[in-house]
Structure formats: C-alpha cells, structure tokens
Chain A
Amino acid sequence: MFKNLTVGRALVYAALLLMAIYYLLPLYVMLTTSFKSLDDIRAGNMLSLPQAWEGGAWAKAWAEACTGVECGGMKGFFWNSVKMTVPAVLISTLLGAVNGYVVSMWRFRGSDALFTMLLVGCFIPFQVVLLPMAQLLGMLGIANTTTGLVLTHVVYGTAFTTLFFRNFYITVPDELVKAARIDGAGFWTIFGRILLPISGPIFVVCIIWQFTQIWNDFLFGVVFASGESQPITVALNNLVNTSTGVKEYNVDMAAAIIAALPTLFVYMVAGRYFVRGLTAGAVKG
C-alpha cells in the first residue's frame, strides 16, 4: 500500500485526513457528550471519552425532557415530523415527476413559460411566502396542523422537484414517446410503462433532497405549527432554550442527534445513488 507513496501523495492524504477530522469532530463531541454525566461534562475535557458511558440523557431526551411547559421529550415531535415529511416528500416528488414529464415531453403553447415560472419558485425566499401562506392556511382551515405544513412544503418543493425531473426527462429522446404514441399508448401509459421504470436515479435524488429540506425546515415549522403539531426542529429549539436551573448539555446533544438521525439514515441508505443520479444523463447511455 505504501509502495507508491511519494511526498505529493502523502501531502494529499494528510490534507484529506485533516478535512475528515475537521468535519467529524463536531459529531464526535456531540456523541461523547451525550453519553457523559453532567459532572463529567463540567470537568471540561470536551475531547475526552466519557468516564462512564451513561444512556440516561438519551432516554430523557426521547421521553421526558421539557420543551416549554410540556415535558414529554422529543418522542411526539419526532412522529410529527415523520407525519409531515413522508407525505410531503412523496406528494411533491410525484407532482414533480408528472410536471417534468409534461414540460419535457408534451410541449404545448406556453409550456416553456410555465416551466420558467416554476423555476422562479426555486428562488423565492421562505420569508416572502410566510404571510400569504398563513392567510391561505387560515382560509383553508388547516392553520396549526400537520396537513397545513404538508401543503406548504408540497407547494414550495414542487418547483425543485419539477426542475429535477424536467432536466432528467429532457435527456430521454422524445422519439421514445413518439414510438409509444404510435404503439397506441396514452399519456399515463407512456408515463407509467416507459418513463417511470427508467426514473429510479432521479427519484432517489429528489427524495433525498426533499427529505432533507423538509425534515430540517425550521421556519415554516415555527410559523405554521404550534404546540402539539410542531415538527422536531422546533421542539429541539424549545428543548435547548427551556432551562430549569442546570443546562443539561448531554440531553441537548442527544436530542440534536435524534433530530438529525433520519436524514443521516437516508444518506447512508441512498447516498451512493445520489451522486449517480445527479450525473445521470450527463453521458448518453
């Protein structure tokens, strides 16, 4: 392994190693802190391993920690986030797939203009839509509910998912659609039988992107949901800011890791398809 190790090579590896440590260090500190006792933390050895491994902070963060006046831990909010993220990701991805299919394969008068308008949706800052969205959710009677959050994320996310799918389908030769039309297939048959089966990579990209965006969102969560229906990001903020005397860093760290776990999980499972999907279509197959 070290046979071909030149000075240049060694420098490259050293730099890589340094960067890896730089990025992994916060995770290391979070993990070790979450297993330390409060006395251990107060001793001030941030980088040392726990003197005794204790899981108590995790149990507390999950089920007992106080987020404001409620003291039920992250448990309920975790499921809130799941109930918000899963439908929002699926709906926005499917909508994006159909939109992308239409604007790339079924051009109609004004389809380019429509696509441009959708594209602009990607550049609208969250803050701009807060007030109109609040008004809309109020009118629909779904303010302060998970359904309302799902709607918000679907509306906001469809711009991105449409862009992803459009750029993927634009690389598929439109002769495929012509051939299928001559074979007698209709709009949905072509989509379902011809295009969906080759859309795997772009679905992975879209799902990872949307999952990360929606799960990690704080602003919409804090504005459009309150109390019971808050997503985990808002609950984490409340947990960290609720102090009754002692600041429990170990519980805070455990709660933060719990909040980040699902996105980490999605990356681990589907990450390798992510890069593959992003570069798919770059070289015609």
Chain B
Amino acid sequence: MAALSINNVYKTYANGTDVLKGIDIAIEDGQFLILVGPSGCGKSTLLNMIAGLDDITSGDIVIGNKRVNELSPKDRDIAMVFQSYALYPSMTVRENISFGLEIRKTPKAEIDATVNRVADMLQIKHLLERKPGQMSGGQRQRVAMGRALARNPAIFLFDEPLSNLDAKLRVEMRTEIKLMHQRLKSTIVYVTHDQIEAMTLGDKIAVMKDGIVQQFGSPQEIYDNPANLFVASFIGSPSMNFIPATVVESAGQIGVKVCDDKGCVVLPLPHDKAKLAQWVGKEVIFGIRPEQITDARTAHRDGLPEMSCHIDVIEPTGPDTLVFVSLNNTKVCCRTHPTEAKHPGESMDLVFDVSKAVLFDPQTEARIA
C-alpha cells in the first residue's frame, strides 16, 4: 500500500493530439480515488500511464516515495482489473490467479496458500478448476479481482470493472469492492464513466474532461460545490436543473427571477452579496438540484421561497416522485414525496431550498456563486 501523486502530467501522441494537459492529483495511502468523466476525457489513458502501459510525455508519477516514470509495469507494484476482465483463456481460474505469483518465482506453498485465501474471500473456491469460458460475467469479474488481490500490490487499478455487468450485479459488486477496500485499506485508482459509482465508491473524485481535471475533491464537495457547469451537470442523477435567469435586486436582497406561464417570483439568494452585486441585471445560469425543489412536507423548513407551478409530467420512482415543471421556458425536475405530488395539468406549490443553489456564468460556464 502506498500514496500516489501525479504531478503536472502531460500526454501528447505522436500526431500532436494532447490527451492529458497537466494533471495534478495526489492521494494518501489507503484512499480510493475515482477518475470519472465522459468517454475521451483521458481517464483511461491516465490509468494506463499509472500502470506503465503508456508512456508519460512530461511530468511525474510517484508511487510511495518512488518516481515510477521509467519503470516497467511489473516493477511498479500495481495490479489491474480490466473492463473485459482479460482472464487468460487457456488457463483455469487457479492458474489465472497464480500466474503473476509464479512469474515472480513465489514458492509453491505460498502460491497455494494465497490462491486459497483469495478464493475464500471472493467465494470462488468452487470455480478454481474452471476455465474463463465456462463462467458467467459476474464470476469472471470476481476472478479478475482475485487475480489482482493475490498479488497484494501497493496500488490497485480498476478500469471500468463493472460496466460489462447487468444492472443488479453491478450494484452488488460495487458494494463488494467498497467492502474489500474497507477491509484491506488498500490504495485504489478506479476509472468509471458512471457518476453513481464515482459518488458511492470514492474517497476522492477527479472529474475529468478534455484532458483536464475539472475538479478534484471528496464526493460531497463535488456534489455540493461543483467548480463549473460541466461538473454540476455530470455529477448527480437526475441531473441538476440549469435555469437561465436574470439577477435582480429588490428590497436590499439579491435574487434570481423565475417565471412560469402564470407569473414570476424572485428567489432571494443567501450567497455572498459582494459577488452577486456585479451581476445585477445580467443573465446567469441558476443551478438547483431536483431535491432542492420539493413539496412543503419534504422541505419541512419555514421561510423558504415558494411558487405555485403548473405540472407537465410526473415520473414516480417509488421512494420519490419526480415532477417536471417549466420555468423560464426550461424543463425543471423536482423531487417530491409520492403522496404530495399532484397530477399533470394541476398546479402544485413547490418550495425552493436556495441555500445550496449555484450560479454559473453563461459564457465561460465558470461558477459565480
């Protein structure tokens, strides 16, 4: 187990495309780092560079206290779980797990003990003599994890390990990976494009886009305080609402004006007035998460601004009902209690919790407040 730091890392391909443009990430020993972003953001490239499967154009990658830029994958003390599992097709599960140990000339008795320990832990003992072709996706995925675990490396690398599984199994395995991390206290770097995996698993999340880390922080920080419009839209499901709105000042309070087809309401903002003052009269993007627009019963707090809105569509999910309304000609999703939700065509009083709302500059998409 070891800390990992990535210092100002660049990756440029021979044809001149910049894939990574100055990545700075550092995690401590035992932390679970998520690299998340849409496809093509460079997250897998970065993982391959940590593994040593891809060259680093400039910058440093440090595992523990050792700069590993020039080390080959086998000398970096890492293990990796791949999206396709990459189990050796001609070998049994036992051979798959012991292959790495055997190459490193581990004594036979120790290999056997390790294979048994890992097989017990992942409950794959009954599969040891099978070949990858004779197993289901979930079983292969366990074996792939077993292979990584057997090596007991300084850092585990996961490259979208759950994306080939069906939805139910994915959730199960997610919990197991988290459990494994809590038990082994291992350092993990985990690549995913799934923001729910990112939120649920990570100690630290690096949200990436176009080869740049857009934001690096704990899941809650990233959820509550997104650095820009991209991060805000990428993390959270259903996604944050982005309502184009004008900043107005009335009665010494600064707020945003939102209208539906019947009328307008000014939602006062509790944010830093100095920051907002220069935006008065200008258009901003008002970002508010679905759970921050809800019915009075769920909000159970007084003094929040309310607005009666015309309901377009409702989507019951079971625990909540998502109510869609139209504000400033934008579709807005609100999360309400199932028994409080009204029907399409009716009006409903919605409470806006503006304390966690965020504002973005419509041109630069940067955070204003």
Contacts and interface: CB of A to CB of B under 8 A. Distances in A.
B89 A183 contact: no
A189 interface: yes
Nearest to A197: B90
A137 B199 CA distance: 69
Interface in B62-116: 72-74, 78-80, 82-84, 86, 88-91, 99-100, 103-104
Interface stretch (A19-27, A45-53, A170-178): A170-178
A198 B131 CA distance: 12
Contacts of A198: 89-90
B14 A109 contact: yes
A179 B132 CA distance: 15
Given A182-B73, A182-B74, A197-B90, A175 B103 contact: no
Please report whether the interface of chain A is mostly helix, strand, loop or mixed according to DSSP. helix
A180 B51 CA distance: 12
A-side interface size class: 10 to 19
Contacts of B80: 178-179, 182
Interface string A55-81: 000000000000000000000000000
B106 to A, nearest CB: 11
Contacts of A180: 88, 99
A274 B170 CA distance: 40
B104 A173 contact: no
A285 B133 contact: yes
B280 interface: no
A183 B99 contact: yes
Given A175-B82, A198-B90, A181 B133 contact: no
B53 interface: yes
Contact of A183 (B14, B52, B84, B100): B100
Residue of A179, A185, A285 with most chain B CB atoms under a 10 A cut-off: A179
A15 interface: no
Interface string B99-142: 11001100000000000000000000000000001000000000
A183 B99 CA distance: 7
Interface string A172-210: 010110111111110001000110011000000000000
Nearest to A194: B88
Given A178-B80, A182-B78, A173 B86 contact: yes
A189 B86 contact: no
Contacts of A184: 74, 100, 103-104
Nearest to A183: B100
B103 A189 contact: yes
B270 to A, nearest CB: 50
A198 B82 CA distance: 20
Contacts of B84: 173, 175
Interface string B241-270: 000000000000000000000000000000
Contacts of A185: 74, 99, 103
Nearest to B81: A179
Nearest to B95: A193
Interface of A: 109, 173, 175-176, 178-185, 189, 193-194, 197-198, 285
Given A183-B100, A184-B74, A198-B89, 11 more contacts: A178-B53, A178-B80, A179-B80, A179-B86, A182-B53, A182-B73, A182-B74, A193-B99, A197-B90, A285-B89, A285-B133
5 contacts: A179-B88, A180-B99, A183-B74, A193-B88, A198-B90
